[in-house]
Amino acid sequence: MSVEAESAPAGGSAATRGSAGAGLRDQVHDAARRARVASRTLGTLTTTVKNRALHAAADAVLAHADAILAANAADLDAARAAGTAEAMLDRLALNPQRIDGIAAGLRQVAGLPDPIGEVLRGRTLPNGLQLRQQRVPLGVVGIVYEGRPNVTVDAFGLTLKSGNAVLLRGSSSAANSNAALVAALRGALAAEGVPEDAVQLLPSADRSSVTHLIQARGLVDVVIPRGGAGLIDAVVRDATVPTIETGVGNCHVYVHSAADIDVAERIILNAKTRRPSVCNAAETLLVDEALADTALPRLVDALSRAGVTVHDNPTEDDLRAEFLSMDIAVATVAGLDAAIEHINTYGTGHTEAIVTTNLEAAQRFTERVDAAAVMVNASTAFTDGEQFGFGAEIGISTQKLHARGPMGLPELTSTKWIVWGDGHTRPA
């Protein structure tokens, strides 16, 4: 079967159409329906076709670098005029080196194993019926994210490789950059005979397009919010489409009474200061009260010398905070079980670490701490799809359903049971 024969109807992206009469809700739902049509074909593409399309998309991003950088310059000008903070401007900014990185990311996804079609389980039943459970795409995936244009291309690459159509709802601050990137991607798909509605950019001028997306039950299979706690909470609270909560990390490092204090110092400094703005950074240091006069002052001193503001008499708010800055809450706890209790109360279920030389304590901690990742004598900074060997990640799930921890390609799939018989009927 030729791919072309199955292509979705032609037409611009939802972002570029939008007649005066059509409401925003209709516009989002229309995009979702076009995504569904595209997804029926995407789910049947061979790995070879998908990989070729990913390389073509990388080529197109490079070929359109000038237009993309010009669009990005317009976004940056507008953001500067609006008084946007320097850190946000840095996330928004593209340059030739970052464009190269974005294209390289697509080629890297092309090199990853294709999850679709993998047989997870199978058996022949006593009556001869042949059962197999196969990985299939989720279908239509919505991504809601903030002002980082690289996410636009990363999300496209991972969803295409896993056979899904993606609806991108980026930040209005990156609207021009995203439009230029998506135009390049869609052009590459069209040239490869892959439905260009595999990727559509939703309008971002009005906040309510997020609401329409997350309430398009039956049209959208899953929405993944990527961003700060406020964005994620709002999406999860108002969604009727299934969502995957990602990336809010109030991560702890607990220094057990039997810890090697050199190791503790190394780990807390790395977990706090390596990249304070990311979700796997440590936000609270818990020190066993047995070490209150020994390790505690040394660790506080080391953090202070590294430029960290130590909240050593933490309020309830400090203990709940995801600082994402060079701040840390420090508290003492009355032993292992008190540390576990504290973490299960205040943690967000992302990454939790213990520093100890005691095997029983390490085992009890890993068993009883309720989080996506639990580390023994290792920095919380390791919770990351690349570090875990997934090649790439779409986010880090902090929920328990469907996926937990770094999400790679398999986490963007569902399954289907395929059953072969030869006239089998079930006895009463």
Q: Are strands 405-407 and 395-397 parallel, antiparallel or unpaired?
A: antiparallel
Question: Residue 371: phi, psi to the nearest 5?
Answer: -150, 165
Nearer to a copy of itself, 185 or 281 (CB): 281
- Residue ranges binding a copy of itself (CB under 8 A): 40, 43-44, 123, 125, 129, 131, 133, 138-139, 217, 221-222, 236-237, 240, 242, 244, 260, 262-263, 266-267, 269-271, 274-275, 344, 362, 366-368, 370-379, 381-383, 387-389, 399-402, 404-405, 414-426, 428
Residue 193 CB, shortest distance to a copy of itself, in Å, is 18
Q: Say if residues 320 and 341 touch (Cβ distance below 8 Å).
A: no
106-130 burial, b for 16+ CB within 10 Å, e for fewer?
beebbebebbbeeeeeeeeeeeeee
Of the chain, the end-to-end C-alpha distance in Å amounts to 41
Q: How far apart are CA 381 and CA 178, in angstroms?
A: 29
Nearer to a copy of itself, 293 or 367 (CB): 367
Q: Are strands 282-288 and 140-145 parallel, antiparallel or unpaired?
A: unpaired
Matching residue, tokens 């006895």: 427
Residue 423 CB, shortest distance to a copy of itself, in Å, is 4
Residue 420 CB, shortest distance to a copy of itself, in Å, is 5
Nearer to a copy of itself, 3 or 236 (CB): 236
Residue 20 CB, shortest distance to a copy of itself, in Å, is 30
Matching residue, tokens 């159409």: 17
Residue 329 CB, shortest distance to a copy of itself, in Å, is 21
DSSP 25-54: HHHHHHHHHHHHHHHHHHTT--HHHHHHHH
Nearer to a copy of itself, 77 or 360 (CB): 360
Pure H helices in 274-372:
295-305, 316-320, 336-346, 359-368
Nearer to a copy of itself, 13 or 380 (CB): 380
Residue 416 CB, shortest distance to a copy of itself, in Å, is 6
Residue 27 CB, shortest distance to a copy of itself, in Å, is 22
Nearer to a copy of itself, 206 or 262 (CB): 262
Dmax (CA) of the chain: 76
Q: How far apart are CA 209 and CA 222, in angstroms?
A: 16
Nearer to a copy of itself, 188 or 372 (CB): 372
- As given in the structure block, the two tokens for residue 188 are 């590459």
